[in-house]
Structure 1
Amino acid sequence: MAKYQDDATQLLKAIGGKGNISAVTHCATRMRFVLNDQSIADEKAIDDIPVVKGTFTQAGQFQVIIGNDVATFYNEFTKIAGVEGVSKDAVKSASKQNQNAIQKAIGILAEVFAPLIPAIVVGGLILGFRNIIGEIKFDSLDGQTIVQVSQFWKGTYDFLWLIGEAIFHFLPVGITWSIAKKMGTTQILGIVLGITLVSPQLLNAYSVAETAANKIPYWDFGFFHIEMIGYQAQVIPAMLAGFLLAYLEIGLRKVIPQAISMIFVPFFALIPTVLAAHLILGPIGWSIGSWISNVVYAGLTGSFSWLFGSVFGFLYAPLVITGLHHMTNAIDLQLTADFGGTNLWPMIALSNIAQGSAVLAIIFLHRGNKKEEQISIPATISCYLGVTEPAIFGINLKYVYPFVAAMIGSACAGLLSTSFGVMANSIGVGGLPGILSIKPEFWMPFLLCMAVAIVIPIVLTIFFEKKGILTKAGVVDDSISDLFNN
């Protein structure tokens, strides 16, 4: 008999049978379903299946946590169910039938920024390292920086800016390329569009504020002119231009005959977009981006920064559940462009730590529960490295009280972070390694915030369980038995 035949048969029945499966695939540890009617799925029966370690729903997908054997289980499940597995992209596409307009928009935003995150993380670490060797003055070096006393480190400092500039100054190129990729349009046109926003012949965006209005270069068309201003590191202008190019190309493909589309589709898509980008979309996008970053920055640094920090820290984990947290990537990047760093991202790293700490308390409280530990231990490690979904969906939301404890801990850490004015160079590695992206002058305050994000969720989780606060019927042990024993 196949290893997981019984479990697969039980899962098929519990999710409503073959007829309720619109699409199915798997990732590293989870089965991912798009169900025609999710209300049919019996989640308690699914949780009782021996191989299953938990369930949750995200982005229109019903996900069943299996573990490292998911590939083997998937093969047996599709064989028993008589369904064809599909790619992850196909499941994402099918899952949109279960999403509302806001969820779809957030999903698009997430898919635009996701391919850029590795480069942005590297860029943040590079900026942090350059600050350490080039900005911090050491008493042991007679009040000089490392760069000032070492030619090697001076060369390293200068060389690393080549990468940092490519990542942040030329960010619009990555954004317009990613939009073209996401929308299924011509990626090289997205790249070309991005380059036209940061071309060396344009006045650098960082020089605009200090340049007199009558000194700004422009293209003269006789009866009107367009200012030659670059959009280095600008997020919203690049997004507006990228989506305009994509939709123009998609629309033109429908009306231009295929025999001549290779010539006329790129021509009539790219040129009007570049013109609109510099004449309309760029200035509008810059204004919107500046307004958003100024409002957020005022909240982070103003008289009520402590309130902003505590509210954001408290609500960030719920934003992860809805998917709205992806919007913070654009805000972080805009803050970095306008203010040379972001006060928002440190609180995100602290929220990661808080959720992981709550799970760490669950591991301690429920030690010996081998089935739960297959989720909780990897989830804690994942949280401390910046990925919270396994912890949130696999453990904290299942019990509720650790989730709330983590939110409170995150709120306290966020309050301290904004009170101290902690600033990161840019988006970086989340969780405990997040300190590597924090500006060195804020390391000690951030270490204190990290300690708060660790201690408070652990203490509150233990307290809530012992006192029966926010637990199911106030009897935690019985609920554990019901959920995890077969």
Structure 2
Amino acid sequence: MFGLEIQKVGYQGQVLPVLVASWVLAKLELSLKKRIPDAFQLLLVAPIALLVTGFISFIVIGPVTFAIAKGITSAVVAIFKAAPILGGLIYGGLYAPLVITGMHHTFLAVDLQLIGSTGTTFLWPMVALSNIAQGSAALAMFFVLKEEKLKSLSATTAVSAYLGITEPAMFGVNLRYRFAFISAIIGSALAGAFITLQDVQAPSVGVGGLPAFLSILPGSWGSFFIGMAIVIIVPFALTLFFGKVRKAQ
């Protein structure tokens, strides 16, 4: 295209390319609206903005952000190899914040690559425990909150998180009350460090949350159940504690 070679790369499941391309598209559209007369905006703004942004996305944005995403995942894997406990703490604690940005999808490719090359993945078990931690924090908020609608929201989103869907609990409850979100992160980080130290592995990516043990190698079930106990007890207890402290103030 115009003498340039463009790699045949699909960016399905990638987040950074989409975020940057969307930002460029928005800025370009606003710029074009300022420069093109109103009578021609409907005809020209959208086609020009899409064409230019698409061209830039495949030539610059895509390759650069894809390389950044690969660098992030490579760095995570390197940390796990060098210091497994530290890696478990970092990944277990940072997974929930990554969900907020959508960047957690980038690590699915790492899971699949690990499964393809080694037969198992050590990352996905921590994802499952992070889901449970968010559910435990939301469940604790049921006992902290007084307003009936929020109590009901806490209970229902906790069930959703325990079954692997954390967004309702995170955005509906835990992020609204930051101490609940932080409590969940602490529990997830501790459990991540523990199961990494115990070398808990999963041969496949399955349903997150409480049913996740079905995707864990049977020999690691004992260690994984201890990790589950950590993400059930620690976030729940910390959220209750911080909730009561806030009320006392």
Give yes or no for contact 2:158–2:169 (8 Å, CA) kept in 1.
yes
User: Number of residues paired by the alignment?
Assistant: 192
**3-state secondary structure, aligned to 2:79:** helix
Query: In the aligned structure 1, how far is the partner of 2:191 from the partner of 2:184?
Result: 10
- CA change 1:398–1:414 in 2 (3 A) is same
Give yes or no for contact 1:297–1:335 (8 Å, CA) kept in 2.
no
Match of 1:299 in 2: 79
Tell me the CA shift for residue 299 of structure 1.
3.1
Amino acid at match of 2:224: F
Tell me the CA shift for residue 303 of structure 1.
4.7
Match of 1:395 in 2: 173
Match of 1:466 in 2: 244
Tell me the CA shift for residue 372 of structure 1.
0.8
Report 1:16-95 matches (<5 A).
none
Write out per-residue CA displacement over residues 275-308 of structure 1, whole angstroms, 9 at most, x where no aligned residue.
Answer: xxxxxxxxxxxxx98x9887654533x3510001
Match of 1:343 in 2: 122
Tell me the CA shift for residue 101 of structure 1.
5.3
Amino acid at match of 2:244: K
Query: Who wins on radius of gyration, i.e. which is larger?
Result: 1
Report 1:433-444 matches (<5 A).
433-444=211-222
355, 360, 364: which is aligned to 2:143? 364
Report 1:24-173 matches (<5 A).
103=19
- Percent identity reads 47
423, 429, 432: which is aligned to 2:207? 429
Give yes or no for contact 1:103–1:323 (8 Å, CA) kept in 2.
no
Write out per-residue CA displacement over residues 302-332 of structure 1, whole angstroms, 9 at most, x where no aligned residue.
Answer: 3510001001111111111111111111111
Query: In the aligned structure 2, how far is the partner of 1:407 from the partner of 1:293?
Result: 20
TM-score (norm 1): 0.37
Query: In the aligned structure 1, how far is the partner of 2:17 from the partner of 2:72?
Result: 22
- CA change 1:401–1:296 in 2 (3 A) is closer
Query: In the aligned structure 1, how far is the partner of 2:171 from the partner of 2:82?
Result: 36
Amino acid at match of 2:153: I
Query: In the aligned structure 2, how far is the partner of 1:326 from the partner of 1:293?
Result: 11
Write out per-residue CA displacement over residues 378-433 of structure 1, whole angstroms, 9 at most, x where no aligned residue.
Answer: 10011000010000000001010000000000000000011001001121100000
Match of 2:134 in 1: 355
Instruction: Select the structure with the greater relative contact order (CA < 8 A; seq sep ≥ 6).
Output: 2
- CA change 1:436–1:103 in 2 (3 A) is same
TM-score (norm 2): 0.70
Larger proportion of helix:
2
**3-state secondary structure, aligned to 2:176:** helix
Q: Confirm whether residue 313 of structure 1 aligns to residue 92 of structure 2.
A: yes
Tell me the CA shift for residue 374 of structure 1.
3.1
- CA change 1:304–1:100 in 2 (3 A) is closer
Query: In the aligned structure 2, how far is the partner of 1:454 from the partner of 1:465?
Result: 17
- CA change 1:365–1:335 in 2 (3 A) is same
157, 177, 187: which is aligned to 1:379? 157
Give yes or no for contact 1:293–1:338 (8 Å, CA) kept in 2.
no
Tell me the CA shift for residue 103 of structure 1.
2.0
Write out per-residue CA displacement over residues 36-71 of structure 1, whole angstroms, 9 at most, x where no aligned residue.
Answer: xxxxxxxxxxxxxxxxxxxxxxxxxxxxxxxxxxxx
Query: In the aligned structure 2, how far is the partner of 1:401 from the partner of 1:434?
Result: 26
Query: In the aligned structure 2, how far is the partner of 1:292 from the partner of 1:395?
Result: 29
Amino acid at match of 1:344: L
Q: CA RMSD in A?
A: 2.8
Tell me the CA shift for residue 458 of structure 1.
0.7
430, 440, 447: which is aligned to 2:225? 447
